[in-house]
Amino acid sequence: MKPPEQPPKSEPTRNLASALAKADAHRAVVSEPKARLLVVDDHPLVRQGLVEFINQQDDLIACGEAATHAETLTALSAGLPDLLVLDLRLKEGDGLEFLKSIKSQFPDLRVLVLSQFEEGLYAERSLRAGALGYVMKEQGSEDVLGAIRTVLAGRIYVTPDLNARLLQRLIAEKPLAGEMDFGNLSDRELQVLQLLGSGDGNREIARQLRLSVKTVETHREKLKRKLSLPNADELVYYARKWVEKHLKSPPSI
């Protein structure tokens, strides 16, 4: 037995069905472009893990990766990504100065700093150097993802805890109770303190920061004065304790 014949579709119905089919086909082919991220970290496992995590997202793609200053600048010169995810602690030394250099060459580039150090130490300095956000490596994947998307949207990212502390400090115009005032240290002095605490001597610090040994010695004298430390041994001891406390994820050797 033949099935009953369907009534013929009217011309407007056929046109509407055709238009809907074409729209569905267009949506299947054309999708929103993914945001392109360049990942800079000198620890291969960390870098590869971050690249894989980014590529798992529907709206993100890692367009490249780099481990050194030179590789980073080469990649940026070849084409700007939508976001640079930058490890502040590269083996070549001063991450803040490198960030400033990047922003001077590529002022429109959005940068998210990824750091091993507590945000209270370097977040403000990173933002002043040109970054739009600061996230610690120990934070969860959802926090990192939120930081990425916040900075991609052109907004500043810091954790709610740091945001509250910054507002309180702004109102009080002084460090909060129980906080050490590192605001009177220059970026360079903080870098020297960090390297001293990591066990580097004057010559190695000078090499990493591309300074003369005499300049490093001058920074050490200023650190002793600003931190009220009586001698060089006390400064080194203080620096080592400071790194032990604040370096959350020591780099693998």
pLDDT at 58: 94
pLDDT at 226: 85
CA 51/CA 57 separation, integer angstroms? 10
Question: Strands 83-87 and 111-115: what pairing?
Answer: parallel
- What are the structural domains of the chain? 35-168 (3.40.50.2300), 180-246 (1.10.10.10)
Q: Quick check: 63 and 80 in contact, CB under 8 A?
A: no
pLDDT at 249: 45
Nearest 5°: the CA angle 141, 117, 211 is 135
Phi, then psi, of 117 in degrees rounded to 5: -90, 150
Paired with 157 in beta bridges are 133
Please give the DSSP secondary-structure letter assigned to residue 37: E
Q: Quick check: 196 and 235 in contact, CB under 8 A?
A: yes
Cα dihedral 232→236→242→243 (10° resolution) = 150
pLDDT at 232: 87
- To the question of pTM greater than 0.75 for the whole model, the response is no
- Residue 169 Cα to chain centre, angstroms: 23
Give me the tens of pLDDT residue by residue for the chain, a chain 253 residues long: 555 555 555 555 556 556 555 555 445 444 679 999 999 999 999 999 999 999 999 999 999 999 999 999 999 999 999 999 999 888 776 788 899 999 999 999 999 999 887 777 788 889 989 999 999 888 889 999 999 999 999 999 988 887 777 777 666 655 444 445 566 788 888 888 888 988 889 998 888 888 899 999 998 998 888 888 888 888 888 888 878 776 644 433 2
Phi, then psi, of 216 in degrees rounded to 5: -60, -40
pLDDT at 13: 56
CA 241/CA 244 separation, integer angstroms? 5
CB atoms within 10 A of CB 192: 30
